Each structure stands twice: as C-alpha cells, then as structure tokens.
Structure 1
C-alpha cells in the first residue's frame, strides 16, 4: 500500500498462524467499494475484506458443507452496484451475488437448458449500465447482460461475419469512458466500443479512430482522461490515443532506456487522485507522473534481492487508492501499501513495526 509521508511499501502476506492474514499471496484483483472498504480477490484463496482497525483481513471461503457460501475459491472480480449488492465473479463457478439485506449468496450459473441463463461460468469483469443492469465479461462466452427487472441474461458474441460484433468471446475487461460509453477489451479480438445498446452493435477501436497501423489484440485494460485514451495491450505495450490530434502512439520497453516502459506485458492502468498514472506489468510497476503524460516518461519500480527497500513482487496485478490517498498494489508476492513521499521503498511484513 502506498501512503503519504515518508515513502515505503508495507507488505501484507500470508502467515500460516494468523487468521487475519491473507489466505495466500496470489491476489487477482483489488477493489475499493463506495463505503471505502478494500476487497482482495485471490486465486484459490477466496475473498478478503480489509479491516483498518485490526490491520488484517476477514476471509470468505468456499465451504462444501454450506450451500450459501462462495461457490469457488478462485475469485477474479468483485463489483458493488448502486443497490449496494456485491457481484463476485469466479474462475469456474459463475457469479455469487451478495445482497446486504439477505444472509446468503445468490448464485448464477450456466444452464444449457435455459437460453436466458448466464452462458459461461468464467467471469472476468462487471460494469453497471445507466439503467441499473449489469454487463458481465466472460472468458469464452462473450459479453453477458443481466436484466435486473427480469433476472435474465442476454449475451453478445463474436461473429466473424458481422463486423459490428465484438472481436472475441474471451472478454477480459470492461471500462466506461467520460461520456458513459462501454468499452470491451478482449483476448485476440482487440477493443470495441458499444455503439447501440438496443441493437447490440459495436465498433472496433481501429475503425473508430480510422487507424489500423497497430494490431491491438489482447486488451487487458483501458483508461480515459480528458486528453488521452490509454490502452494496455499484452505483448504489445501501452497505447496512448490523443483525442484531439487523433495521434496513436505505442510505448514499449526500450533496452538501455531507464525512462521507458518496463515491459511490453501491461495488464493494469490506474490514475490516482493526483492524476498520476500507474501501469502494472508482468515485469514491474510503472509510474507516469501527471506532468509527464505528454512526454510519456516512466518511472520504473522492480524488485531487487539485494535491496530490501525495493517493491516485493514483479508481476503487478492490481492498483487502487483508498479514501485517505493510500495506494494499494497487488503483486505476485502479496499485497503492498506504498508511501511515495521521498520515492523510497521500505518493506515490512505484518510481524514488523510498520508505523
């Protein structure tokens, strides 16, 4: 986690004898809900809720003896809708819906006998529409749409004969731009913008900008500020599209350039409250300060065995900010809290003094 003051990382990891530690260190996603609660989704480790009072985590796990528990321990996503319900996406077992006014999870699965059921059980992302319905990214079933009034699902899939469909059924990310448009990132099918919700038509990003110079195939995240659209494309790098000049620029790792992107495998983009842009890759954490967005200059943080003050993990899976301005970072080595004051990193286990 990153906090104001003297910069350092505070590291949260699994401790076998501590029930308030993470169940394991494999964090897939971090999510800050509207009440300021921090949630951690773990691969084979369930769901965690951070307690500031205890400086630890409450665990929610699958219990085969309890039909009202989570359906699976590999949790890939959590999302809070405007009714304060939590949509929890699993890696293999569909959706768990936690209603604050109910004492159990509602479960949604693929049902081959029901054409209005969820059509795939691998859930990647959620996003609420303006009318309160839920868009659902599935890895293999395309884009699903939950109609709250009917409790039914509709799906939108890739069609090679229809250029107005999404590019792939492996939907990885859902994002909303400043105008409220839905952007759909896929594996091997690029990025598409929802053109008409009623007809379910989409326009591919390259067609939208009238520029097909780059492939832009595997889109793991997209971010929108007033000037640019930023796109994390695995195996390609970080794209920046200037909405005014219509210039599309690709940032990649440049050997010997310490101010270039650390890896061509970016998967996360996050803008903090100071308008700094954080880029998570499979080979380090990257920071573009608000004053460096036009120049495209990166500050890179990577682990070092010889430096105990370096970032603990190299594969950065999620970045978020809480209401106090703390930046939380999930890596392949657990959960970290980073304090940027002097741009120096000190790591603490939960067994060490971290004041």
Structure 2
C-alpha cells in the first residue's frame, strides 16, 4: 500500500496480492518489492508491474526460490536479491541474472544459502547477512566471498547465529542485529566481528533484535522483541 503524505490516506494497494512484503527498495523511479512467497516485483511509481522474478519465470526472470528476504540496488545499478536458497544478482543493463549458493568445497563462496539482509557500504563493497552462516563480504568482482563469524567464542557452532538488519555508522563500522544472540559489531580497523562492550551483559545478549536505527547525534536505537533500547 502507498501512503499519500499530503492527504494521509492510502492511495492504492500493491499488486502482490496477499503476500507478505519482506523488503522495499526504490531507485531511479522504480520500486522493488521483495515478497515472502511470490518472488520479486519491479514496479513503476504507479505500482504497475514492470518485471516479476519468480520460480516459474523465463530466462533472467527465473529465481531459484520465491521467498525473497532482501533486495538492494547498489551504486552501479546491480540488483542484489537475497532468497531462501541463495543470492541472485540481476544486471538491468545486460538483462542477465546470476545465482550464488554455498558449495561444500568452495571456501570463498557463500557460507549459507538463506540470505536475510544485503547492504552496500561507503566503499561500495557488499555485506550479506545469512541465516546461520555469519556475515559474508564481497567486492564487485561478485565471485569471492569472505565469511565473518563471532570471534569472541572458540566454539564454531556458537559463533554462527541468525542474522537480521545491518547498519553502517559514520565511522563505516557495521552494527548487526541477531535473533537471540545480541548485537554484533564489525570493527573495520581490526577486521573483526565481535560483541560490543555492555552488549555482552546477559540481560541483553539473548535478545531477539528486530530493527536498528542510528540518529544523527550518534545514538543507536535497538528494537527488540521484548522492547526498545538505546546506546
């Protein structure tokens, strides 16, 4: 649905029927809608469907899975599509779609197939939060991925966690929400993913974090399943 700010009324419903919308992105007059079970839609500003990416699509419109968790358009115009079964990258100028997925013997591939969040940082590199494989990093070569787990634990299984939203701060460090494993912090200078200061406290570390928002003053707001925090 679209809210008209002037009238404060809903103008029109989305063409994605009753599917849950997981993610929205807008660039160059196009709206990208990632749905829970109907794939990915590219819409114009009047919500007319321009393209529909889904399991039964043909050619570059064919996705490996209809559950699209995240969609991001990077600075070069590439569309990064995170699904339940891997990562697609769509090139609008060439009308091509490629698929990345974990490979057992490929240590430089994706660490997990289920993609939850995709963010491009200030250096134009892309960070990918997975369900249970830590954070993946890639440059625009799109062929090599680096995986980050929680280095605060020696147990590799504990170091894996369900990830959610990724937020980049003014120092170009990353804050990463998890489900049940607190708030993670990627220190760019140390090139390390860690728990941050007081977030190791047991009253906070087990929280299911749903959202992050950074105020211009530097205050970080943390929305959890149990309530809100700020730092």
In which range does the TM-score fall when normalised by the shorter chain?
0.7 to 0.9
Is the 2:19–2:37 Cα contact (8 Å) retained in structure 1? no
Aligned to 1:27: 21
User: How far off is 1:141 after superposition?
Assistant: 0.6
Aligned pair count? 225
Aligned to 1:263: none
Is the 1:168–1:189 Cα contact (8 Å) retained in structure 2? no
Cα distance between partner residues in 1 of 2:110 and 2:76: 21
Aligned to 2:216: 226
User: How far off is 1:202 after superposition?
Assistant: 3.0
2:65 to 62, 72, 78: 72
Cα distance between partner residues in 2 of 1:160 and 1:98: 36
Unaligned stretches of 5+ residues in structure 2? none
Which shows bigger deviation, 23-32 or 65-74? Answer: 65-74
Cα distance between partner residues in 1 of 2:145 and 2:171: 25
**TM-score, normalized by length of structure 1?**
0.57
CA deviations 1:76-131 (Å, max 9, x no partner) are: 1101111110100002x201101123222011011112111112110001112333
Cα distance between partner residues in 2 of 1:135 and 1:47: 20
Cα distance between partner residues in 1 of 2:22 and 2:187: 30
**TM-score, normalized by length of structure 2?**
0.85
1:123 to 115, 120, 141: 115
Unaligned stretches of 5+ residues in structure 1? 14-20, 242-355
Higher relative contact order (CA 8 A, sep 6+): 1
State the superposition RMSD in angstroms: 2.6
Q: Give the 5 Å matches for 1:46-85.
A: 46-53=39-46, 55-58=47-50, 59-63=52-56, 66=59, 69-85=62-78
TM-aligned CA distance change 1:144 to 1:210, over 3 Å: closer
CA deviations 1:12-61 (Å, max 9, x no partner) are: 15xxxxxxx2254321111223x2422111111111122235x4333222
User: How far off is 1:162 after superposition?
Assistant: 4.9
User: How far off is 1:66 after superposition?
Assistant: 4.2
Secondary structure at the counterpart of residue 62 of structure 1: coil
Is the 2:173–2:188 Cα contact (8 Å) retained in structure 1? no
